[in-house]
Amino acid sequence: MSESSSGQRPDFWPDCGYAHTVADARGWLTPQPAYWAVFLKRPELALVPESCAAEIRLHRNLQSNPLLRVNEASLALLQDEDARSNYRMFIRFRDAVQSNATLEGFYLDMLNQGAVAHPPLFIDLLVQTMLRGMLNNHTDPLLARAAELLFRQQRISVQDGQLLSADAQALDDMSEDGGLGAIGRLLKESQAPLRDAQLRVLNTDNAQAYWQHTSHRFVLDLSHEMTQTLSHGLTLKLAKARSGLKALSDVLVMWVAHFLGVKVRIEPVPSIDDQAWRWHTGLDSASTALLNALYQGQTLAPDALSRLVSLFKLRFDDETQVQEDMHGKPVYLGLAMTADNTVKLKPQNLLLNLPLKPASLR
């Protein structure tokens, strides 16, 4: 992915806490105490007018000392049950991460254990911080916007022939109905200058404005160009050179290399026309079910097939790292939306479901 001609860009995602981490030689991040103060600003933990004296005291003490030990007796003093629960989950998460040397180390340990015992929100915040570190030396806004798919739920729409991905929460914040049609409506209504626009498709002309407007309000174009008929009765198109799908592919390549030390190539493809199709991985729950069904030769209803956003082909640079029966064979990836047109990519799938030789993720 090309970088801007200036090679410069301001800080982005400033609220993710990356500034309060220290990177080791491989780029893995060690959280500093101030990292946890970022969590205290979240609506789930921030003080509200109804906060009791005990909650106010606990919050202020944690702001002063984000690594403060908090016992159950202290939490029991909080009058609001939801507040007690939120602080309890935060403390448990903070302590679990702190018990590891790095954010990445904690994340891989959690995956190895096979169960996620922490709120998805906290895991998404962790993923955002780690991605911010991975992208620190990159200046292409398209990469950063594509990376948002790994930690932010998206809503998909077709508008004027474009397959568009908008941040679901940002869209809900801007639209009373929060519906799919709001994407097209808001785009059409947005005739103001860029600085005043609520929603814009990220493109070459406005890309650099992403760095000044990182409130998840840029729409990613996931369109393809050349229409092709696929096997299994599916139709897709080849990705454009500056498609968000290409940028997403590049982010996934970084993700695999960062955690597993494995170099791969990933590209969007129009079909799986492969008689020797052997391995596939869904990047979300919807595509996992869809690919499993197609692999087993099942006939799917048209509405199920229409939910497929894209297919990808993954190949390994060094096949000595791969199971022998997969030498020379690609891994197919899928990205799909649910029945309500949302996409929630699961980046852990790409770390857990590759045909690497038996070994721990570490």
Paired with 162 in beta bridges are 159
Pair (25, 122) in one structural domain? yes
Residues present in the chain in total:
362
Residue at 1 is within a domain: no
pLDDT at 230: 53
11 confidence band (pLDDT: 50, 70, 90): confident
Q: Are residues 103 and 116 in the same domain?
A: yes
Q: Which of 13-22, 201-210, 332-341 has the lowest mean pLDDT?
A: 201-210
Is the pLDDT at 211 greater than 80? The verdict is yes
pLDDT digits (tens, 9 = 90+) for 155-196: 998 887 788 999 999 888 776 544 445 555 555 554 433 333
Share of the chain above pLDDT 90, in %: 66
Q: 188 and 74 in one domain? A: no
- The pTM of the full predicted model, rounded to 2 decimals, is 0.88
**Are 193 and 230 part of one and the same domain?**
no
Where does a domain end: 221, 240, 274? 221
Give the tens place of pLDDT for each residue, 77-86: 999 999 999 9
- Count Cβ atoms within 10 A of the Cβ of residue 130 and give its class: 0-12 exposed, 13-18 middle, 19 or more buried: buried
**Which residue did the predictor score with more confidence, 207 or 227?**
207
Q: Give the count of beta carbons closer than 10 Å to the beta carbon of residue 247.
A: 25
Which of 189, 205, 221 is at the close of a domain? 221
Q: CB-side exposure of 89: number of CA atoms within 13 Å?
A: 17
Residue 335 in contact with residue 310, Cβ under 8 Å?
Answer: yes
Which of residues 304 and 320 earns the better pLDDT score? 320
Q: What is the mean pLDDT of residues 321-330?
A: 94
The pLDDT of residue 242 is above 80: no
Query: Average pLDDT in the 49-57 region?
Result: 97
361 in a structural domain: no
Q: What is the pLDDT of residues 83-140, one digit of tens each?
A: 999 999 999 999 999 999 999 999 999 999 887 889 999 999 999 999 999 999 999 9
pLDDT bracket for residue 15 (50, 70, 90): very high
pLDDT band for 8, please (50, 70, 90 cuts): low
pLDDT at 165: 95
Q: 103-113 vs 81-98: helix axis angle to the nearest 10?
A: 100
Query: How many structural domains are present in the chain?
Result: 3
Query: Domain containing 347: what range?
Result: 225-352
- What helix, strand, coil percent values describe the chain, rounded to 5? 45, 15, 40
Q: pLDDT higher for 7 or 97?
A: 97
Note whether 35 and 117 are same-domain residues: yes
At residue 356, the pLDDT reads: 95
Span 289-316, mean pLDDT? Answer: 89
The mean of the pLDDT values for the chain is: 87
Q: Which residue among 74, 99, 134 closes a domain?
A: 134
Q: Are residues 86 and 42 in the same domain?
A: yes
